[in-house]
Amino acid sequence: MRIAVNTQLLLKDRLEGLGSFTHETLKRITKQHPEHEFIFIFDRTWDQEFIYSDNIIPVKTLLPSRHPILWYLRFQHLIPRMLKKYQADLFISTDGWSITNSNVKTFNVIHDVEFVHRPKQFPFLVRAYFNYYFKKSALQSIGLATVSEFSKTDLVNAWNISPSKVDVIYNGSNEIYTPLMPHEIEKTLHETTKGIPYFIYIGSLNPRKNIEGMLLGFDHFKQQTKLPHKLVIVGEKMWRSQSIEQVFERIHSKTDVLFLGRQTTELLHKQLGSAVALILVSHLEGFGIPIIEAMNCDVPVICSNITAMPEVAGNAGHLVDPNSINSIANGMEKLATDKEYRNQLIENGRMQRKNFSWDVSAEKLWNSIEKCMKT
């Protein structure tokens, strides 16, 4: 069977959550199923790292995926033509973008529907595209998957989709994320903050991540405890991040906040593994991969008590109200001062992290794909 795959997010050194899901699952599936041929459809020249096996044919469209108008041209015109040219039997998309005007069967993974709940956080054309084409492709797909029970319920309710059509496939964690040795932590602390303990945030700087609330919570924590801790923020800016800059200018603890931008996976492993705790106080997460990356590094987690985060963190996370500055600040104080509690969260994390594996994710994704091929 010839299976075409949307691989637009397989970008060298730029794998975010959706890209990681695509990379880790396809790497396993293509190697484990040499009896099938896979057409990887990129939007630019691909890196050989992502050509995992001999049964992959890499191709690219004439247009990149960098704007809603280009999305429309690629997925409604260029990719359907490519599917016809290569006589594909199935089209898979693991990041939500898909086709709606082809006779080829489609299977789609939609990680969350934030644009339904928080439309003002997206530029007009972006949200218009998501709300129309993501919904249309989901309704037309022969099968769907998402990354948490929360996201499944959200998807079903948002678009009136039958629950039986949606499979839940959890994310995993990169194998590099393991506990650091004490000397590695000491060295990383010295290099990152000159030896001062720190909290870390990992992710894009967009509104749903509640960077403003995290900054205000950290500022309140600093004011009420006078502890030396710093806040390390790893990630790139996305649209409408001006409010983050405005809040940053207002806080008293600006010198204790470090914006490091994008980091290599190797360096990020060391920075995460040396932190007092991971901070993820988003307004919405379909999953939250940094949570399990932290657990794999024996680092406790402070995360929101809403959406998918309690499901992923289990009893290994300190849950806070993302809309309460006091709740966020008190969580930081608890992790910074209560060593016994912090150690208990770490121990809980060693059990909770066993629920998440890319091997299992790939197996479940393939099972879902097989169901579509037999339909």
Per-residue pLDDT of the chain (375 residues; tens, 9 = 90+): 999 999 999 999 888 889 999 999 999 999 999 999 999 999 999 999 999 999 999 999 999 998 999 999 999 999 999 999 999 999 999 999 999 999 999 999 999 999 999 898 889 999 999 999 999 999 999 999 999 999 999 999 999 999 999 999 999 999 999 999 999 999 999 999 999 999 999 998 888 899 999 999 999 999 999 999 999 999 887 655 678 888 999 999 999 999 999 899 999 999 999 999 999 999 999 999 999 999 999 999 999 999 999 999 999 999 999 999 999 999 999 999 999 999 999 999 999 999 999 999 999 999 999 998 887
CA distances from 265 to 12, 205, 262, 286 (A): 11, 18, 9, 22
Contacts of 250 (CB under 8 A, 6+ apart): none
Domain assignment present for 339: yes
Q: Are residues 222 and 259 in the same domain?
A: yes
CATH number at residue 317: 3.40.50.2000
Domain assignment present for 177: no
**3-state SS assignment for residue 286:** coil
Name the nearest CA neighbour of 277 among 325, 341, 321, 219. 341
Q: For residue 31, what are the domain limits?
A: 2-172+357-374
Contacts of 240 (CB under 8 A, 6+ apart): 121, 123, 206, 207
Whole-number pLDDT of residue 208? 87
Helices (H), 274-338: 289-296, 309-313, 325-337
Amino acid in the structure at residue 303: C
Name the nearest CA neighbour of 304 among 270, 279, 340, 272. 279
Query: In this structure, is the dihedral angle defined by the CA atoms of residues 118, 122, 127 and 128, taken in order, positive or negative?
Result: positive
Domain assignment present for 135: yes
Q: Are residues 204 and 269 in the same domain?
A: yes
Q: Are residues 133 and 43 in the same domain?
A: yes
Domain assignment present for 368: yes
Whole-number pLDDT of residue 242? 76
* Pairwise CA distance, residues 163 & 155, whole Å: 9
* Pairwise CA distance, residues 174 & 293, whole Å: 7
Q: Are residues 347 and 294 in the same domain?
A: yes
Domain assignment present for 59: yes
Q: Are residues 187 and 331 in the same domain?
A: yes
Whole-number pLDDT of residue 142? 95
Q: Are residues 115 and 60 in the same domain?
A: yes
Q: Are residues 196 and 334 in the same domain?
A: yes
* Pairwise CA distance, residues 121 & 105, whole Å: 32
Q: Are residues 18 and 159 in the same domain?
A: yes
Task: State the total domains in the chain.
Answer: 2
| Torsion from C-alpha of 146, 149, 152, 153, nearest 10 degrees | -170
Helices (H), the chain: 17-32, 68-73, 79-85, 114-117, 124-129, 135-140, 149-159, 182-193, 211-225, 242-250, 265-273, 289-296, 309-313, 325-337, 339-352, 358-374
Q: Are residues 27 and 124 in the same domain?
A: yes
Q: Are residues 23 and 87 in the same domain?
A: yes
Q: Are residues 368 and 343 in the same domain?
A: no
Residue 127 neighbours by CB distance under 10 Å: 18
Q: Are residues 154 and 249 in the same domain?
A: no
